[in-house]
Amino acid sequence: MKIAITNGRLVDPKHQIDARQDLYLADGRVAGVGQAPAGFQAEREIDARGLVVCPGLIDLSARPGKLETELKAAVAGGVTTLVCPPDLDPVLDEPELAERLVRQAADLGLARLLPLGALTQNLEGERLAEMAGLRQAGCIAFSQGKRPVLDTQALLRAFEYAATFGYAIWLQPQDYYLSRNGFAHDGEVGSRLGLTGIPVSAETVAIATYLTLAADTGVRLHLRRLSSAAGMAMVAKARAEGVAVTCDVGVHHLHLSEHDIGFFDTHARFDPPLRSLRDRDGLCAGVAAGTAALCSDHTPLDQDDKLVPFGEAKPGATGLELLLPLTLKWAAAAKLPLNAALAPVTSAPAAILGRDDLGHLGLGAQADICLFSAEEPWRVTPHNLRSAGKNTPFLGYEMAGRNKATLVAGQVVFDAL
């Protein structure tokens, strides 16, 4: 299928393009930018007048829930690639399980699903999972999801083993003991409301441990969902010193803080928790500086999971369909141009994944594309969200930026033009 996307505003952060240019796709790849390749005969032309044409969004953390529903939500939100953690049901600790999930996603033909394999068997933090087998089954790196590795020696062994084969390890830095029983930032609001706190040190202690082991073993380390300014500063410093570490931040953490808990609003319960305004500013600066990529941390939940007292509520928010507008909202507040706005959800995550065929629109890149209206306002309502999860602190808010069409590998998988 040969497709021409014409009259759009092409934004490609990796190549620093922001211009009115046409895009030509053939055989699922980008075949021409600005100029059609010789003899190109478009079978379909998409008129992108008034729309931004950019690489499909890459979401470094999304829980798939019911696969078809959530992958439909992904492409509706302009997300063409999503990484899912291994702490699903069942846990992704055997190659067959990962293979099945990858195949199910591929059969749906919607967004690309890249699973993280379990680092340890059943995520118990003791015995190593079959990493090579999991890798072959499609796991792109290894993780514990939300589960800890309590035994630091077991962690060192896991780092060593992964480094042996050149596999990356993705961990959420949160010390188990410093965070156990906690459910809110250990700070002003949590103290006032009597919510058991998770101190920033739960994050920084874990980062210090992981960075030390990463430096010793040479493993490629990715830190998932930072929540604190201090944590971000540690990662920036390590990167400046040449440590092969990357990180991401959940997009909600760029907008919200502990103060958004208000009167015990369970929609503001996140893991890691929303922290102080200073932390929020530190995270924003880290993303703007390119230290961190963004993810939706998509966690679709039932309504009942939030209709309980704050400490009993499940953490997380639906995110796949809010990643784009929340990224644009952050960039607008920070007065960033569109290239800089979209880098944390396109080129930056592609670099973390080590995929030079994703996250950009250069010649030969996968034709994963999203076409969105940068200005069109829309209201976040349960009806407007395709995800089964309607759980979001932004319910009722007006967002600017609405995805209109999504292509994955040159196929139109979402079309609201």
Partner 1 sequence: MHNPQLNSNGELIHLLSIEGLPRGILTHILDTAASFLGITDREVKKVPLLRGKSVFNLFFENSTRTRTTFEIAAKRLSADVLNLDITRSSTAKGETLLDTIDNLCSMHADMFVVRHASSGAPYLIADHLKRVGRDDIHVVNAGDGRHAHPTQGLLDMYTIRHFKKNFENLRVAIVGDILHSRVARSDIHALTTLGVPEVRAIGPQTLLPTDLGRMGVQVYHDMNEGLRDCDVVIMLRLQNERMNGALLPSAGEYFKHYGLTPAKLALAKPDAIVMHPGPMNRGVEIDSAVADGPQAVILDQVTFGIAVRMAVMSILAGN
The residue among 312 and 398 lying less far from partner 1, judged by its C-beta, is 312
Among 8, 95, 197, 393, contact with partner 1 (rule: CB under 8 A): 197
Instruction: Say if residue 64 is preceded by a cis peptide, omega within 30 of 0.
Output: no
385 binds partner 1 (CB under 8 A): no
How near is the Cβ of 377 to partner 1 at its closest, in Å?
Answer: 24
Q: Which of 307, 333, 363, 417 binds partner 1 (CB under 8 A)?
A: 307
Please tell me whether residue 397 binds partner 1 under the rule CB under 8 A: no
Phi/psi at 34 (5° precision)? 80, -30
Q: Round to whole Å and give the CA distance between 202 and 172.
A: 11
The verdict on 304 binding partner 1 (CB under 8 A) reads yes
CA distances to 28, 100, 117, 215, 318 from 91, in Å: 32, 12, 9, 29, 21
Contact flag: residue 262 with partner 1 (CB under 8 A): yes
Q: Which helix (H) or strand (E) holds 224?
A: none
- For 50, half-sphere exposure in the C-beta direction (CA atoms, 13 angstrom radius) is 8
**Site map (CB under 8 A) of partner 1, residues 135-174, x = contact:** ----------------------------------------
Name which of 190 and 410 has its Cβ closer to partner 1: 190
Asked if 181 is part of the footprint of partner 1 (rule: CB under 8 A), the reply reads no
- Work out whether 186 is an interface residue with partner 1 (CB under 8 A): yes
Nearer to partner 1, 20 or 180 (CB): 180
Q: Is 309 in the site for partner 1 (CB under 8 A)?
A: yes
Considering the complex, what minimum distance in angstroms separates the CB of residue 307 from partner 1? 6
Of 43 and 304, CB closest to partner 1: 304
* Alpha-carbon gap, residue 200 to 187, rounded angstroms: 9
398: enclosing H helix or E strand: strand 398-408
Angle at 226 between CA 221 and CA 227, to 5 degrees: 165
User: Of residues 115, 173, 187, 344, which one binds partner 1 by CB under 8 A?
Assistant: 187
- Other CB atoms within a 10 A radius of the CB of residue 241 amount to 10
Relative orientation angle of helices 200-217 and 229-240, to the nearest 10 degrees: 20
The residue (of 83 and 202) whose beta carbon lies closer to partner 1 is 202
Q: Has 368 been annotated as catalytic?
A: no
**Residue 27 interacts with partner 1 (CB under 8 A)?**
no
Q: How far is the CB of 105 from partner 1 (least distance, A)?
A: 34
The CA R_g of the chain, rounded to the nearest whole Å, is 21
User: Based on CB atoms, which residue is closest to partner 1, 142 or 270?
Assistant: 270
Q: How many CA atoms lie within 13 A of 269 on its CB side?
A: 22
In sequence order, what DSSP letters do the residues of 186-254 get, joined into one string? SSHHHHHHTPPEE-HHHHHHHHHHHHHHHHHH--EEEE-----HHHHHHHHHHHHTT--EEEEEEGGGG
Which range of residues in 54-62, 106-114, 206-214, 304-312 is near partner 1 by CB under 8 A?
A: 304-312
- To 10 degrees, the CA torsion angle through 347, 348, 350, 355? 90
Q: Is 382 in the site for partner 1 (CB under 8 A)?
A: no
The site string for partner 1 over 263-292 (x = CB under 8 A, - otherwise) reads xx----------------------------
Residue 393 within binding range of partner 1, rule CB under 8 A: no
- Active-site residue among 297, 304, 356, 357? 297
**Cα–Cα dist 215/212, whole Å:** 5
Question: Hey, which residues does 197 pair with through a beta bridge?
Answer: 184
> Contact at 8 Å (CB) between 187 and 258?
yes
Count of residues that bind partner 1 according to CB under 8 A? 22
Neighbour count for residue 385 (Cβ, 10 Å): 21
191 binds partner 1 (CB under 8 A): yes
Q: How far is the CB of 182 from partner 1 (least distance, A)?
A: 11
Alpha carbon distance 249, 196 (integer Å):
23
Interacting residues toward partner 1 by CB under 8 A: 186-188, 190-197, 199, 262-264, 304, 307-312
Q: Which residues are catalytic?
A: 297
